[in-house]
Amino acid sequence: MSAETILSNARIVLADEAIDGHVVIRDGRIAAIGRGPATGEDLGGDTLIPGLVELHTDHIETHFMPRPKVFWDMFAALQTHDAQIAASGITTVFDAIRVGTDEDATLTVDTMEKLSNVIAEAAATDETRAEHFIHLRCEVSAPDAVEGFERLSKNPRVRLASLMDHAPGQRQFVSYDTYRTYYQKKKALSDEEFDRFTKRRIAESEANSGPSRRAISAAARARGIALASHDDATLGHVEEAIALGTTIAEFPTTPEAAEASHAAGLGVLMGAPNIVRGGSHSGNVAAHDLLLIGHLDILSSDYIPFSMLQAAFLLARDGTLDLPAAIRLVSANPAKAAGLADRGEIAVGKRADLVRVRADRPERPPIVASVYRAGRRVA
């Protein structure tokens, strides 16, 4: 006998319009969508949106290592991270796991492999609220980036890898002052120590970045792992990314790089915190500016899980986009970019990943009232 749930009296956000009606869920999928009331769970006029799809969040590491050199139980860290993800309306998440370390790194490739295995185990036994995949953040300037990718990419939950280089003087950190502000205090370095650190980072980038990009991209293509470029700043960066087979442009730092990426068919991803804060914390291009010129496709929470939902409703409330278009940035568009055709919108036949949102007070962020993954309430 089929299990059926009806969610009624809701403002339902479809791909291109919002309607007042009801949704029928059967065996974990959307069986029907109708206008008007129906007998079922009364949502009291709240807004019903598709579950959010998050492609890049570094958040799990902060739960595993909440303080410098303080390590938490990995499964407990995953559960805490997962609870916050689900409560933010995210039903599919790509947990970003670092690949590529330096000599003073606290989190080694062994640690990252263990954490990845915990994610895979929890997914296999259905012990999380959201569905978790793995995104390998490959720091291509690091000497062990290729070795780390080879080890971690064997995990069956790995679906996405990004190629990044945070050496000073280029990409995210064109400004040395910005680099100093970000890293010197973070690592508690004296001026002399910071200068040595900077020179070492530049030398590693010059020696390793090119070969690592080529090796990792070739291995990713062979294994069916989607590729993303990261912090592209120039047309040369974009041309290199296209040649390597990337399909997503993460956090381009200039309008020129975003425009070229979008024109080439790459999904341009920016941080939702950039929208909420009104600009980049690194002084790079504002996500809102890219949106206005049509060069932004996807929003990611990056470091604040709730920012995806907050940004989407903010864009709708200020008139930048209508609500369906704003929701596509955090649901249908990232799902498509990740090759997840079964989710990302409220449509018959799609997986019943749904979020009930209370958004009746424009002066406040929206409230997540309930979350369903594959028709089962998880928050």
Q: Which of 199, 75, 85 has the alpha carbon at shortest distance from 141?
A: 199
**Could you read off the pLDDT of 82-135 as tens digits, one per residue?**
999 999 999 999 999 999 887 656 788 999 999 999 999 999 999 999 999 999
In this predicted structure, what is the pLDDT of residue 75?
97
Query: What six digits make up the tokens of 371?
Result: 């979350």
Residue 76: pLDDT band (50, 70, 90) is: very high
In this predicted structure, what is the pLDDT of residue 1?
43
Residue 378: pLDDT band (50, 70, 90) is: very high
Please provide the average confidence, as pLDDT, over all residues in the chain: 91
Query: What six digits make up the tokens of 114?
Result: 């263990």
In this predicted structure, what is the pLDDT of residue 368?
98
Residue 248 has pLDDT above 70, yes or no: yes
At 238, is the secondary structure helix, strand, or coil?
helix
Q: Which of 75, 95, 238 has the alpha carbon at shortest distance from 155?
A: 95
Query: What six digits make up the tokens of 176?
Result: 């040395």
Share of the chain above pLDDT 70, in %: 90
List Cα–Cα distances, 324 to 7, 34, 40, 317, in angstroms: 19, 17, 24, 12
**Could you read off the pLDDT of 264-278 as tens digits, one per residue?**
999 999 999 999 999
Arithmetic mean of pLDDT, 40-69: 94
Residue 365 has pLDDT above 90, yes or no: yes
The pTM of this model reads 0.91
- Buried/exposed code over 8-39 (b: 16+ C-beta within 10 A; e: otherwise): bbbbbbbeeebbebbbbbeebbbbeeeeeebe
Handedness of CA 132, 212, 173, 181 (dihedral sign): positive
In this predicted structure, what is the pLDDT of residue 238?
95
Residue 10 has pLDDT above 90, yes or no: yes
Chain CA centroid to CA 30, Å: 25
Residue 255 and residue 290 in contact, taking contact as beta carbons nearer than 8 Å: yes
In this predicted structure, what is the pLDDT of residue 204?
74
More confident residue, 198 or 152: 152
The Cα 103–Cα 322 span in angstroms is: 48
Topology of 51-344 in CATH?
TIM Barrel (3.20.20)
In this predicted structure, what is the pLDDT of residue 256?
95
Residue 181 and residue 198 in contact, taking contact as beta carbons nearer than 8 Å: no
**Could you read off the pLDDT of 141-188 as tens digits, one per residue?**
888 999 999 999 999 999 999 998 866 656 656 555 666 566 656 666
DSSP 8-class letter at 321: S
In this predicted structure, what is the pLDDT of residue 202?
74
Residue bearing tokens 């263990």: 114
In this predicted structure, what is the pLDDT of residue 45?
97
**Could you read off the pLDDT of 12-49 as tens digits, one per residue?**
999 999 999 999 999 999 999 999 989 999 999 999 99
Residue 340: pLDDT band (50, 70, 90) is: very high
The Cα 242–Cα 236 span in angstroms is: 10
For 153, phi and psi rounded to 5 degrees? -70, -10
In this predicted structure, what is the pLDDT of residue 106?
76
Domain boundaries, the chain: 51-344
Q: Which of 323, 366, 365, 309 has the alpha carbon at shortest distance from 91?
A: 309
The Cα 351–Cα 276 span in angstroms is: 29
In sequence order, the 6+-apart residues with CB closer than 8 A to the CB of 351 are 28, 29, 30, 342, 343, 373, 374
**Could you read off the pLDDT of 201-218 as tens digits, one per residue?**
777 777 788 899 999 999
For 26, phi and psi rounded to 5 degrees? -135, 125
In this predicted structure, what is the pLDDT of residue 133?
98
